[in-house]
């Protein structure tokens, strides 16, 4: 572990954020409220694919390798945030109509549409998007740093 | 070291650029779907409108926007003048005198409903409230009371309320005390009227009563709110202190009555104004009430300018000509339609639930519970029903018929206990406070039918000439109302053909010189004289016998005229002598032919399954029949155990409740599109195409539409029409609302903003004046031309079946024919200006409670002669161009799936060629795509845009209904051809509207350009960064090596 540089630790934060986003998302579609059962197609595949790519990149970097290792980890670290960004856009596309209903309904119907369950569901959806967005940003920042300390 | 940093830099840049590329690429697709909303938020415009006004087919009537605004304002003021109804006028409280100070009591006196602008109220800068209207009219208002109400009790102010989306504080208008504007859905309703005992606590000076002169006149204003998704619950009232009282929320509360008492104590006379679209219970302040006042007037739900007109009526500057569009009763429970208000659940509604066995949603658990008004639950929402057992006897048709029978036909047991709320025996005088059509005139006048001509042909008219005699010494304006009584025969009794003893037909107004007379010619299509016989003839019939016509100031006066004509007097039980004469028209024998066809279509039953008995196979429901008031008065069907499993049609019933009205076929391949190069444009559409939907151009045009787009454009109609690939039709935006276009016109030359949603549905109803409604229709149409908006949900024609519907303020009346004639006039005016004005919500959306699934059961006579008759005038007689269908079910069938109503009746019988839109598609388990296509829906309102395809979901299926795809529909030629036919009606309607006045061209906004540029730049940068990263990686390793 001593071989890991700041880049690896930032990558780990991105992984944690992405996992947290997925947990919140899972709660969102599993719990009561507006988005119950409203799964977003391929989102698990994309999020877990990105997480796996980042974890693999960190693990590979523990092995002192040559340029091949450097290139493979680099590809994974460039691809993973892009994959997460793709997942984020799909999530937004799948949630924006519902958020519109819940937050921007005519005032006459606000009481009815803004039930506790729907509000909690909407907030949970926003949290999942926020966490995934943060994961994307952190993963991009991480890509500016090496995973392995020099000469470690 | 340096090269390693360079490697990291380019790797980071590659990641950043890749992310930005993904975001901009996918974001571009996302923004395309929400272009309209983004334009609205950013103030951009994605389409330019090219308007060649000289060549336009539909032209504006006003040269300048100022003229346009003035015309709209004039109509609104006339609505106040003609719609204000004087219900009670004792002790000469009216007209008001400028010599006496006026004291305003009640929260609504200083903030009439609605007090905020929005769908119902325009909010123009020169809007007039009641205080301003009375002061402008020259009245002096007591300042002491005004001050403590405005500054102490109401205390209008602004509050910083967090924005629901951003959380940022934003300024919002608020009051310390104000009536509840939205009653909620069958919730408790607090009547927030501050009682006089708290006046001083709220800022009134201790001697406020001393400030009132002894000869002052009090005006007390009471309001009730309303709204979409709202339904009043009987017995739900809560007082100012927050205590449940168990009273009707539409009755005056003790706090309100205390205000009345304070007004009576301090002023010489008291006038109460009713500011509501929901019929209130006024027993306490009516004649003989414990808190009787001198005068009561109805002012409806006001808009920007109506109160100026109301003030003119109150001061007697114009004669009062408004009349009540509803019956006011001593207790709302006296309405048979209220007996089982709200509805109930089938005892075994859970058996409709799918445990994954619905082939359209394999593996999904779909409940059968309630969804909210906005959906959001995985449910068919088909467990809830209401039995509309009152049949045609809604409002005055019940009360006046029962009154008539109590005198004329004692065998019918009208004077029994059934339905009585004011004593052991039902009595008209005890139950009814103010009848339908009642409205006091300042000037004494008589109205007499001089002649009636009945043209007994399919498209014939009844033409009645009514003479108005002005008995006063002032010139004035007067209302004439035409009523009829159809014969009620042995045939009717045997076959349960119900007849109201009094039926309103139409009305008109005229100016008459003092002491003079004037003739008003009133016409109405003869077909409305016929009754629907759903049991024997299974078509419209006219019974043999005398048809009695009379002109009267209300339905009750008409009933007395009929009774007198038939030889009855006060000695027989009439509560007043007749005031008018009767003219009879005789039909020698039963006619079951003349109105058995319409527009070349044989008329027969289309809604047998709307009857609950159809499903249960037994006489579960006894529908109200006047031949036995006692034995057929509705019971509460909410308490009857109804089990789906007991039905001989159980499987069919469950299928319908699951929304499987139509099942996609697999054995009849549809033809793909053939592009003949035709396009939807002015060059191709000339008079011969515009005047004939059967012109081959239309068939050829819609057969250019692919299977994907034909189905997709119908089931994803959205809030704008979609541009079809080979048709190149223009984008058409849909607009709200029932008071007129809510969009504002910004005059760039002056910087002024004009809003034209200044109309009041309630006051146009109480005006009883189709000519005024037509004038409004023309103004509404003109405003569309100024706004370059052509498709509008611009009126509401649902019958006010009960007083409790939260959207009664959007509708016209309890009476189908008053609604019919007002709807006819508004839609005719709009159509003449090329505006597609679609009335809401056709098909028994008569309660908002569980509107998205409740099954309304009824007979076919009710189906044809009540709610739907209200729409018939505008859609059939006036050739209206659009309609929005109800949310609820008719019987077990979603109204938007109802082939009988939409294809057989609306299209075939009525000859309607316009748009048919659903209401908000908020539940894919309730709204079924293929069933909506097959019923004739031209656009499903799913509020998305540019999504007219069924291949945008995962694996190329539809994004909403995954069982829909090109593969699953391509072998159902009937479905695909029906979709193309529906689009033919849509395109044909566009061609006959002002849409062709303009062309729309899509342009790139700054944010389009920003996204495109970002996409391109980031793609290039991502590639370059990757290449650089790769190169430096290889170089650095080489150096290290």
Assembly ipTM: 0.94
What is the residue whose two structure tokens read 């049991």? B535
Highest mean pLDDT among A100-109, B32-41, B390-399: B390-399
Query: How sure is the predictor about A1, in pLDDT bands with cuts at 50, 70 and 90?
Result: low
Query: What is residue B125's predicted lDDT score, i.e. its pLDDT?
Result: 93
A112 CA: distance to closest CA in chain B (Å): 7
- Average pLDDT on A29-57 reads 90
For residue B32, pLDDT over 50 is answered with yes
Residue B643 scores a pLDDT above 90: yes
Q: In Å, how far is B236's CA from the nearest CA of chain A?
A: 17
Domain ranges of chain B: 2-31+1006-1040, 85-319, 441-606, 668-998
Return d(Cα B147, Cα B337) in angstroms, integer.
44
Whether residue B18 lies within 8 A of chain A, CB to CB, comes out as yes
B14 contact A CB<8A: yes
A contact residues 32-61, partner B, Cβ 8 Å cutoff: 33-34, 36-37, 41-42
Tell me the shortest Cα–Cα distance from A106 to chain B, in angstroms: 8
Does A95 reside within a domain? Answer: yes
Tell me the chain B residues in contact with residue A67 when contact means C-beta distances shorter than 8 Å.
Answer: 1033-1034, 1037
pLDDT of res. B871? 98
| Residues B500, B72: Cα–Cα separation, whole Å | 38
Residues B644-681: pLDDT tens digits?
Answer: 999 999 999 999 999 999 999 999 999 999 888 888 98
Asked if B1037's CB is within 8 angstroms of A70's CB, the reply is: yes
* pLDDT tens, position by position, B857-903: 999 999 999 999 999 999 999 999 999 999 999 999 999 999 999 99
Is the residue at A150 inside a domain? no
Buried b (16+ CB within 10 A) or exposed e, B731-767: bbbbbbbbbbbbbbbeeeeeeeebbbbbbbbbbbbbb
Asked whether residue B72 carries a pLDDT value surpassing 50, the answer given is yes
Whether residue B955 is predicted with pLDDT greater than 90 in this model: the reply is no
Lowest mean pLDDT segment, chosen from B634-638, B662-666, B730-734:
B730-734
Contacts A74 to B, Cβ<8 Å:
11, 1029, 1033
**Residue B1010 pLDDT greater than 50, yes or no:** yes
B677 vs B960, which has greater pLDDT? B960
Q: What is the tens place of the pLDDT at every residue in B505-563?
A: 999 999 999 999 999 999 999 999 999 999 999 999 999 999 999 999 999 999 999 99
Nearest to B30 among A93, A105, A145 (CB): A93
pLDDT band at B56 (very low <50, low <70, confident <90, very high): confident
- pLDDT of residue B809 exceeding 50, the answer is yes
Dist CA B202 CA B153 (whole Å): 5
- Identify the CATH number of the domain defined by range B668-998: 3.20.20.300
- How far apart, in Å, are the Cα atoms of B901 and each of B867, B888, B959? 12, 13, 29
Contact indicator for B571, B904 with CB cutoff of 8 Å: no
- Asked if B336 and B624 count as a contact pair (C-beta separation under 8 A), the reply is yes
Window 188-227 of B: residues touching A by CB (8 A cutoff) are 227
- Are the beta carbons of B580 and B555 closer than 8 angstroms? no
**CA of B330, closest CA in chain A: separation in Å?**
29
For residue A64, pLDDT beyond 80: no
Computed from CA positions of residues A47, A52, A53, A58, in that sequence, does the dihedral angle turn out positive or negative? positive
Highest mean predicted confidence (pLDDT) among A110-114, B844-848, B945-949: B844-848
Please state the separation of Cα B306 from the chain's center in Å: 20
Omega before residue B114 within 30° of 0, cis? yes
**A146 in contact with B, Cβ within 8 Å:** yes
* Distance in angstroms (rounded) separating the CA atoms of residues A130 and A147: 25
The reported pLDDT for the residue numbered B1041 is 39
Residue at A151 is within a domain: no
Disruptive mutation site among A85, A123, A134 for chain B (greatest number of B CBs within 10 Å): A85
C-alpha distance from B30 to closest chain A C-alpha (Å):
7
Mean pLDDT of B361-378: 83
Architecture of domain B85-319: 3-Layer(aba) Sandwich (3.40)
pLDDT of residue B1040: 47
**Chain-wide mean pLDDT for chain B?**
94
Residue of A nearest to B806 (CA): A108
Q: What is the pLDDT of residue A151?
A: 56
**Cβ–Cβ of A70/B1026 closer than 8 Å?**
no
- Cβ contacts below 8 Å, chain A against chain B, sum to 133
Under 8 Å between Cβ of B199 and B212: no
Q: Is A72 within the bounds of a domain?
A: yes
Residue B374, pLDDT above cutoff 70: no
Task: Say yes or no for a CB contact (<8 Å) between A108 and B182.
Answer: yes
* Nearest-neighbour CA in chain B from A129: distance (Å): 14
Number of domains in chain A: 1
**C-beta separation of B301 from B276 below 8 A:** yes
Give percent of chain B above pLDDT 90.
85
Within B329-422, residue ranges assigned H as helices are 396-408
Pairing of strands B893-894, B889-890: antiparallel
What's the mean pLDDT in B349-353? 96
Of A67, A112, A136, the CB nearest to B372: A112
- Torsion, Cα B207 B209 B211 B217, to 10 degrees, reads 170
Which conformational region is residue B413 in: left (phi greater than 0), alpha (psi within -120 to 50 degrees), or beta? Answer: left
In tens, the pLDDT along B15-25 reads 999 999 999 99
Structural domain containing residue A50: 6-142
Please report which confidence band the pLDDT of residue B954 belongs to, taking 50, 70 and 90 as the band edges.
Answer: confident
| B490-514 per-position pLDDT tens digit | 999 999 999 999 999 999 999 999 9
pTM recorded for the entire structure: 0.84
Average pLDDT over residues B616-639: 97
What whole-number distance in Å separates Cα of residue B681 and Cα of residue B788? 18
User: How far is the C-alpha of B447 from the C-alpha of B768, rounded, in Å?
Assistant: 15
A119 touches chain B (CB under 8 A): no
The secondary structure of B78-142 as a DSSP string is: HHHHHH-EEEEE-TT--S--TTS-EEEESHHHHSPSP-S-SSS----TT---HHHHHHHTT--B-
Instruction: Return the ∠ at Cα B734 (arms to B729 and B739), rounded to 5°.
Output: 145
Q: Which of B535, B148, B605, B78 is nearest to B321 (CA)?
A: B78
Is B9 in contact with A144 (Cβ distance < 8 A)?
Answer: yes
Which one is predicted more confidently, B438 or A117? B438
Residues in chain A within 8 Å Cβ distance of B174: none
Alpha carbon of B12: minimum distance to chain A alpha carbons (Å)? 4
Contact yes or no for B195/B259 (Cβ under 8 A): yes
Residue B191 has pLDDT above 50, yes or no: yes
> Is B376 an 8 Å CB contact of chain A?
yes
- Identify any residues that bridge with B507 across adjacent strands, giving them in sequence order: B481
Nearest to B441 by CA among B558, B550, B322, B325: B322
So what's the pLDDT on residue B162? 72
CATH superfamily name and code, B441-606? Immunoglobulins (2.60.40.10)
Determine, for residues B165 and A78 on separate chains, whether the beta-carbon distance falls below 8 Å: no
Q: What is the mean pLDDT of residues B580-585?
A: 97
Confidence class of residue B2 from pLDDT cuts 50, 70 and 90? Answer: low
Instruction: Kindly report the number of other CB atoms within 10 A of residue B1001's CB atom.
Output: 11
Residue B117: pLDDT above 90?
A: no
pLDDT band at B729 (very low <50, low <70, confident <90, very high): confident
């Amino acid at each position: 572990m001593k071989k890991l540089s700041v880049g690896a630790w930032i990558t780990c934060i991105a992984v944690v954020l992405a996992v947290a986003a997925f947990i919140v998302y899972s709660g969102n579609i599993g719990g009561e409220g507006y988005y119950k059962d409203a799964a977003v197609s391929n989102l698990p595949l994309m999020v877990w694919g990105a997480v796996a790519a980042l974890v693999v990149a960190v693990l590979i970097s523990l092995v002192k390798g040559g340029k091949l290792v450097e290139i493979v980890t680099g590809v994974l670290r460039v691809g993973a945030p892009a994959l997460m960004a793709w997942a984020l856009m799909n999530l937004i596309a799948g949630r924006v109509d519902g958020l519109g209903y819940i937050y921007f309904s005519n005032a006459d119907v606000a009481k009815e549409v803004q039930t506790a369950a729907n509000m909690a569901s909407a907030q949970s959806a926003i949290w999942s998007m926020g966490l995934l967005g943060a994961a994307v940003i952190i993963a991009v920042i991480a890509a500016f740093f090496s995973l392995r300390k020099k000469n470690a | 070291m340096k090269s390693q940093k360079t490697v990291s830099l380019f790797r980071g840049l590659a990641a950043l650029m890749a992310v930005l590329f993904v975001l901009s690429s996918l974001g571009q697709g996302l923004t395309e779907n929400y272009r309209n909303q983004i334009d609205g938020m950013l103030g951009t415009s994605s389409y330019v409108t090219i308007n060649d006004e000289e060549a336009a087919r539909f032209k504006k009537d006003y040269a300048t926007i100022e003229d346009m605004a003035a015309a709209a304002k004039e109509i609104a003021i006339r609505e106040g003048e003609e719609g204000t109804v004087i219900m009670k006028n004792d002790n000469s409280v009216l007209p008001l005198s400028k010599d006496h100070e006026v004291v305003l009591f009640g929260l609504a006196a200083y903030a009439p409903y609605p007090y905020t602008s929005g769908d119902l109220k325009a909010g123009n800068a020169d809007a007039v409230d009641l205080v301003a209207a009375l002061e402008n009219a020259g009245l002096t208002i007591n300042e002491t009371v005004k001050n403590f109400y405005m500054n102490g009790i109401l205390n209008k102010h602004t509050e910083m309320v967090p924005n629901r989306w951003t959380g940022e504080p934003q300024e919002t208008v608020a009051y310390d005390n104000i009536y509840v504007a939205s009653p909620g859905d069958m919730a408790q309703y607090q009547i927030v009227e501050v009682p006089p005992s708290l006046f001083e606590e709220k800022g009134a000076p201790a001697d406020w009563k001393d400030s009132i002169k002894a000869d002052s006149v009090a005006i007390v204003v009471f309001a009730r709110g309303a709204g979409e998704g709202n339904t009043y619950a009987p017995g739900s009232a809560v007082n100012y202190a927050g205590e449940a009282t168990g009273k009707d929320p539409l009755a005056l509360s003790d706090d309100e009555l205390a205000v009345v008492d304070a007004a009576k104590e301090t002023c010489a006379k008291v006038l109460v104004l009713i500011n509501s679209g929901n019929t209130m219970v006024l027993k306490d302040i009516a004649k003989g009430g414990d808190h009787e006042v001198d005068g009561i007037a109805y002012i409806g739900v006001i808009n920007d300018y109506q109160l100026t007109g109301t003030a003119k009526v109150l001061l007697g500057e114009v004669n009062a000509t408004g009349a009540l569009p509803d019956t006011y009763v001593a207790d709302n429970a006296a309405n048979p339609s209220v007996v089982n208000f709200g509805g109930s659940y089938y005892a075994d509604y859970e058996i409709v639930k799918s445990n994954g066995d619905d082939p359209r949603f394999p593996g999904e658990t779909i409940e059968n519970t309630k969804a909210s008004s906005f959906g959001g639950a995985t449910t068919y929402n088909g467990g809830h029903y209401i039995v509309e057992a009152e049949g045609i006897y809604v409002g005055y048709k019940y009360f006046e018929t029962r009154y008539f029978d109590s005198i004329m036909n004692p065998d019918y047991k009208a004077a029994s206990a059934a339905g009585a709320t004011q004593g052991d025996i039902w009595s008209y005088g005890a139950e009814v406070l103010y009848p339908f059509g009642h409205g006091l005139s300042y000037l004494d006048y008589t109205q007499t039918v001089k002649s009636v001509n009945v043209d007994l042909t399919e498209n014939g008219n009844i033409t009645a000439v009514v003479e108005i005699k002005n008995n006063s010494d002032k010139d004035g304006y007067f209302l004439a109302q035409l009523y009829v009584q159809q014969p009620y025969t042995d045939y009717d009794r045997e076959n349960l053909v119900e007849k109201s003893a009094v039926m309103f037909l139409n009305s008109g107004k005229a100016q008459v010189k003092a002491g003079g007379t004037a003739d008003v010619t009133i016409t109405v299509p003869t077909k409305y004289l016929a009754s629907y016989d759903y049991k024997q003839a299974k078509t419209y019939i006219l019974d043999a016998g005398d048809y009695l016509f009379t002109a009267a100031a209300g339905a009750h006066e008409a009933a007395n005229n009929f009774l007198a004509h038939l030889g009855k007097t006060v000695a027989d039980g009439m509560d007043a002598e007749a005031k008018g004469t009767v003219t009879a028209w005789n039909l020698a024998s039963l006619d079951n032919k003349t109105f058995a066809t319409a527009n070349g279509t044989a008329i027969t039953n289309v809604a047998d399954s709307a009857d609950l008995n159809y499903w249960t196979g037994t006489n579960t429901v006894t529908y109200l029949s006047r031949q036995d008031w006692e034995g057929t008065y509705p019971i509460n069907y909410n308490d009857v155990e109804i089990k789906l499993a007991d039905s001989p049609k159980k499987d069919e019933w469950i299928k319908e409740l699951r929304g499987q009205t139509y099942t996609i076929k697999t054995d009849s391949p549809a033809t793909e599109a053939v592009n003949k190069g035709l396009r939807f444009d002015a060059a191709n559409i000339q008079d011969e195409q515009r005047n004939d939907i059967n012109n081959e151009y239309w068939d050829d045009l819609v057969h250019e539409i692919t299977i994907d787009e034909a189905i997709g454009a119908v089931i994803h109609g959205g809030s704008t029409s979609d541009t079809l690939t080979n048709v190149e039709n223009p984008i058409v935006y849909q607009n709200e609302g029932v008071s007129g276009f809510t969009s504002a016109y910004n005059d760039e030359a002056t910087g002024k903003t004009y809003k034209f949603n200044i109309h009041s549905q309630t006051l146009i109803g109480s005006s009883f004046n189709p000519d005024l409604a037509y004038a409004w229709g023309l103004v509404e149409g003109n405003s569309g031309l100024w706004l370059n908006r052509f498709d509008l949900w611009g009126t509401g024609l649902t019958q006010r079946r009960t007083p409790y519907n939260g959207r009664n303020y959007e509708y016209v009346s309890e009476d189908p024919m008053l609604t019919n004639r007002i709807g006819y006039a508004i839609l005719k005016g709009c159509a003449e200006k090329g505006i597609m004005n679609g009335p809401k919500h056709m098909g028994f959306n008569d309660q908002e409670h569980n509107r998205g699934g409740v099954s309304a059961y009824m007979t076919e006579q009710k189906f044809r002669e009540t709610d739907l008759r209200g729409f018939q005038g505008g859609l059939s007689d006036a050739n209206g161009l659009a309609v929005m269908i109800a949310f609820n079910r008719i019987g077990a069938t979603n109204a938007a799936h109802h082939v009988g109503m939409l294809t057989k009746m609306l299209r075939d019988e009525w000859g309607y060629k316009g748009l048919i839109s659903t209401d908000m598609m908020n539940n894919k388990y309730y709204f079924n795509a293929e069933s909506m296509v097959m019923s004739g829906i031209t656009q499903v309102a799913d509020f998305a845009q540019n999504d007219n395809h069924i291949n945008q979901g995962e694996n190329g299926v539809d994004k909403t209904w995954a069982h829909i795809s090109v593969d699953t529909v391509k072998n159902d030629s009937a479905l695909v051809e029906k979709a193309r036919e529906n689009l033919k009606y849509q395109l044909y309607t566009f061609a006959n509207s002002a849409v062709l006045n303009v062309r729309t061209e899509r342009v790139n906004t700054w944010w389009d350009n920003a996204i495109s540029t970002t996409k391109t730049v980031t793609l290039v940068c991502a590639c370059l960064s990757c290449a650089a990263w790769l190169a430096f990686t290889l170089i650095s390793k080489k150096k290290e090596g």
